Every structure is written in structure tokens, then in C-alpha cells.
Structure 1
Amino acid sequence: MTALATQPLLDALRTHADDEELIARVRPPETGREFHLLRRDADVEVWLIAWAPGASTGFHDHGTATTAFTVLTGSLVEHNWLGGLQLADIGPGDARAHAPGHVHDVRNVGSLPALSLHAYAPRLDAMHHYHFRGDRISLIGAEPGRP
């Protein structure tokens, strides 16, 4: 994945990350995650996700979309499957970007809520879900992108 491929996504994240009013309006849920669509056009889709403590995505990919995300408040841990498990702590201002097909599980393992921004290009058309088996992952299902 090239910097050129992810630059529009990182730019979209920066645009919304500076919106303090947006951050102030969102109240994290008591359990799970809550999704807020911020932008959807022909090129990029941007979502704000509010995370309760203990919330997790489960292992998944984003279909054909290149992805980028950043944490606004709180912290998240990304479990990446790259032929083996790798962990990354992500705090406020940290950004991650991945090529299509990248499999990961993002979790709020802290005791406080978290807010994160996620950008997809092209728009999120599908997600594939996986079961982590310690030394491998296996596909368990697919779903279309969010409406």
C-alpha cells in the first residue's frame, strides 16, 4: 500500500478530527459500539465510532476498501493478523492505515469510553468476519457494507 493510496483517507480523518463540536456531541454507549456516518461520496466514506469499555469488532476485513483510522479520545488495541498475531496500542492522534483484505480486531480494553474516526476508499462495500484459532484464522461469514 502506498502513501498516495492512503493520503485521501488520512486527509478526511484530519478534517473531522479537528471538529471539537462533533466530539462533544457524541455520547459513548453503555455497551458495544455506536456508529455515526459523517461523509459518504464517490471517493471516501467516514464514520465516527463510539466505543464502550470492553467493545470489540471481532476479526474482520473491509472487503475491497483501503482503510485508515485514528483515535480521538480514549485508547484502542488493534490485533492484526499478518500470518501471525501482532498487537498495536492506539492512543489519541495515532493513525493506522491498511490495504484491502487486511484482517484485524479492534478493541477497547480500557475502563473508559473511546471515540475513533474510520475512513474507507472506495466506500465500504463488504466486511468478512473471521474466527481466530490461535495459529490461523478462518472465514465465518460476510456482510454488505453499512447502508
Structure 2
Amino acid sequence: MVEGHAPLRTREDDPPMTSAHPVDLLALAARYADPPRWPVPLRFDRAQRWYARLAARPDHEVWALSWLPGQGTDLHDHGGSSGAFLVVAGTLTEETVSGGRLRPRRLAAGAGRRFGARHVHVVTNRGDQPAVSVHVYRPALRRMTRYRLRDGQLLIADVAEAGVAW
């Protein structure tokens, strides 16, 4: 376990996500949008975004993240995983690359976003209040590539591996 991050917990009532039983990832994120029911207590960390894996199944995983004002991610992908995230509290700004530049989208509490396996984005709390979100990935995250956007082109900055970087 990484200090500051909660241990793995599973939730047996998650439906399996097979081709015979598809589940909308955003709908699954909504099932976890109640922090008092999480298997770990919600925390806020001034040094970095706090995160905890709420559930892990063979075909997906669910994460909770908290964001203090100004906290955010680097420009990154999800290593071939599709996903969705739902803002539970506060407001987050997601920026995606389009036409060689970052285009922002503001997501208030209750708003969410589905994304495919090739999605690249930055997520930041640009507000003045803390934010909380739930993220679902299918399959579970194994790696994430971080990028730089230079002269309208995505350049690989580094690759983070599960079990090492998080």
C-alpha cells in the first residue's frame, strides 16, 4: 500500500461486465457516488490528489479521487482502458486535445463523462471549493502514458505502470 492511499476493497454487488452483460461505465460510477458508503473514508490531501480504489473485478475497477482547488492531473491516457468519471461534489475541468490545442469542459457535481480507450485528457479543480469524483476503468488500469502538447503535437513524456506509480 502506498502511504496516503487507501487499500483495495471489493464490492460483490457489482455486476460483471461481459459482452453478454454490458454495463454503462458512467452508470456504474453513479452507483459509487455516495462517499459515506465507501469502504474507505474520504480524505483531502494538501500535497496531492488523494485517491483510493473502491472496487476491483476481473473486468473493471472503480476509484475515488478528491481534489483541492488547484490540484489536477498531467495530460494523460489510460493505457488502452475505456472509462467514465462522475463529479460527486464540486466542479472539475476536463481538457481534451482537439485541433492541436486543449479544449476545456467544465463539469459540475452530477455531471460525468464517458471515454474510449484512446482518450487523452487533463482534469483539474479550477474552482475554489474541494471536488470529489468517481472513476471506472475497463479493463483495470495497467499503465498510463503522460504527454506534453508542443506545437499542436502530443509528445510522450513518460509511462507510469500500475503497482509502481500508483
Other-structure match for 1:130: 147
Could you say which structure has the greater relative contact order, defined with CA pairs below 8 angstroms and 6 or more residues apart? 1
Other-structure match for 1:28: 44
- What secondary structure, in the 3-state scheme, does the structure 2 residue paired with 1:12 have? helix
Q: Which has the larger radius of gyration?
A: 2
Aligned residue runs from structure 1 range 7-18, under 5 A: 7-18=23-34
Structure 1 unaligned regions, length at least 5: none
1:83 Cα deviation (Å)? 3.9
Aligned residues: 143
Cα distance in 1, alignment partners of residues 32 and 98 from structure 2: 29
- What secondary structure, in the 3-state scheme, does the structure 1 residue paired with 2:152 have? coil
Equivalent residue for 1:110, pick from 117, 127, 135: 127
Aligned residue runs from structure 1 range 14-93, under 5 A: 14-18=30-34, 20-22=36-38, 25-84=41-100, 85-93=102-110
Q: Report the residue type matching 1:145 in the other structure.
A: A
Equivalent residue for 1:120, pick from 137, 141, 156: 137
* Contact persistence 1:71–1:91 (CA under 8 A): yes
Cα distance in 1, alignment partners of residues 103 and 70 from structure 2: 19
* Contact persistence 1:71–1:90 (CA under 8 A): yes
Task: Compare the two structures and name the one with the higher helix fraction.
Answer: 1
- What secondary structure, in the 3-state scheme, does the structure 1 residue paired with 2:69 have? coil
Cα distance in 2, alignment partners of residues 141 and 121 from structure 1: 22
- What secondary structure, in the 3-state scheme, does the structure 2 residue paired with 1:17 have? coil
1:19 Cα deviation (Å)? 5.1
Structure 2 unaligned regions, length at least 5: 1-18
Question: Between the two proteins, what is the percent identity of the paired residues?
Answer: 33
Write out per-residue CA displacement over residues 27-64 of structure 1, whole angstroms, 9 at most, x where no aligned residue: 32223200111000112100000111101101000011
TM-score (norm 1): 0.87
TM-score (norm 2): 0.78
Cα distance in 2, alignment partners of residues 39 and 12 from structure 1: 11
